Amino acid sequence: MNHSQNKLTLWTLAFCLMLTFATSPALAKAQATSSDTSSDTASKKAKKKAKKAAAATATVEDSASKTAAADKAAPAESTGNMAAPKKATAKAASPEIAAAQASGKVWVNTESGVYHKGGRWYGKTKAGKFMTESEAKAAGYKAAQKE
């Protein structure tokens, strides 16, 4: 019994060594090519981030100028009625999401009846709108279990 166990162990060890020697050149080649492209990939990612940041800044500035122009053009209401809130788009723009989150609003998924304070689904579900947390609770929406 002991002799056959030693033989099996020896064969297993030999197989592992052969497998290691056979795959090492391929692994070394893959590592060499990935290190060459990693700096290239990093620079591409940095360029993408810079481009997104510039686009977001332009969008915020553009929406601010449109809001200012609309405020000048619209006459002041003296009736005391509050204006109807803006209807949220299916997927809100990221400056809008950032502004809502900064003001402490939650994203209500109107289809599921759940509101999100942040996380993956904040401002990203197909049907939804921004509300304060107290408004969402008063309307019967439940807080999301996992954020």
Domain coordinates of the chain in residue numbers? 1-70, 94-143
Q: Are 102 and 81 in contact, with CB atoms under 8 Å apart?
A: no
β-sheet with 114-116: strand ranges across: 128-131, 106-109, 114-116, 142-143
User: Predicted confidence band at 35 (pLDDT cuts at 50, 70, 90)?
Assistant: low
Cβ atoms of 107 and 123 closer than 8 Å:
yes
More confident residue, 24 or 13: 13
Tell me: the pLDDT tens digits for 103-141?
Answer: 999 999 999 999 999 888 999 899 999 999 999 999 999
pLDDT, position 130: 94
pLDDT higher than threshold 60 for residue 90: no
Report pLDDT for 62.
55
Listed residue (142, 143, 99) closest to 123, CA to CA = 99
